[in-house]
Amino acid sequence: KQEVTQIPAALSVPEGENLVLNCSFTDSAIYNLQWFRQDPGKGLTSLLLIQSSQREQTSGRLNASLDKSSGRSTLYIAASQPGDSATYLCADTTSGTYKYIFGTGTRLKVLA
Amino acid sequence: EPEVTQTPSHQVTQMGQEVILRCVPISNHLYFYWYRQILGQKVEFLVSFYNNEISEKSEIFDDQFSVERPDGSNFTLKIRSTKLEDSAMYFCASTGTVPYEQYFGPGTRLTVT
């Protein structure tokens, strides 16, 4: 059964710190992996999409990497800000299916 | 920039009532999806829809649920007889020209009392 796990479940850091969020997936036939941000009670904001042929994607202070052999993706946030406080979700989809499997998320709090 | 829209943003209904959640996917998209997120839990896949039929559904998507694309723009999720445990945020998504990248709507919060 395809599963996605995110560690840690919660993280609290001081402003300005660089941080890494982890996402592990069980199915090696991954097609793509997408990172989302979710504010409390709100919808899903897409951050980065990595296709299986890519190793990383960057957008501003965010960098996401994908290692299919180890079943891991990381989201790196540089110079964190209080406005980055949110829950970060990763989701993958595998060849032959169109559905996303979501992780449980990492709840990030950046302290001013 | 095109976006997926959903209405209503919040729906309150009584147990046993039928509800229809509406979505307008991005206009040139071909694949449509519904997901739900019970408060404090992970986002779960419900159903995918392509070429006017269901292409995949989860165990959650039982006979109480149905989907429809009644016209060229709307995509709906119907729950025939709501239960307390159907209370959740429901997200619609659609896929465009980048294979498998899904664009999500803002969600409809369904509260069943």
Task: Using an 8 Å CB-CB cutoff, list residues of chain A that contact chain B.
Answer: 31-32, 34, 36, 41-44, 46, 49, 89, 91, 93, 97-105
Residues A73-94: tens digit of each pLDDT: 999 999 999 999 999 999 998 8
pLDDT of A63 over the 80 cut? yes
User: CB distance A99–B48 less than 8 Å?
Assistant: yes
Which residues in chain B have Cβ-Cβ distances shorter than 8 Å to A57?
none
User: CB distance A42–B91 less than 8 Å?
Assistant: no
- How much is the average pLDDT of A21-40? 91
- Residues A109 and A17 sit within 8 Å (Cβ to Cβ): no
CB pairs under 8 A between A and B: 58
Look at residues B87, B96, B82, B91 and name the one whose alpha carbon lies nearest to residue B35: B91
What pLDDT, on a 0 to 100 scale, did the predictor assign at position A94? 80
What pLDDT, on a 0 to 100 scale, did the predictor assign at position A58? 97
What pLDDT, on a 0 to 100 scale, did the predictor assign at position B99? 57
Select the more confidently predicted residue: B96 or B6: B6
Nearest CB neighbour to A102, from listed B42, B56, B58 = B42
pLDDT of B98 over the 60 cut? no
Give dist(CA A110, CA B53) in Å, integer. 44
- Residues B49 and B112 sit within 8 Å (Cβ to Cβ): no
Residues B15-72: tens digit of each pLDDT: 999 999 999 999 889 899 999 999 999 999 999 998 889 999 999 999 999 999 988 7
User: What are residue B111's DSSP bridge partners?
Assistant: B12
Select the more confidently predicted residue: A98 or B67: B67
Best mutation site among A99, A101, A106 for testing chain B: the one with the most B CBs within 10 Å? A99
CA distance to partner chain B, nearest, from residue A102 (Å): 6
Give dist(CA A49, CA A58) in Å, integer. 9
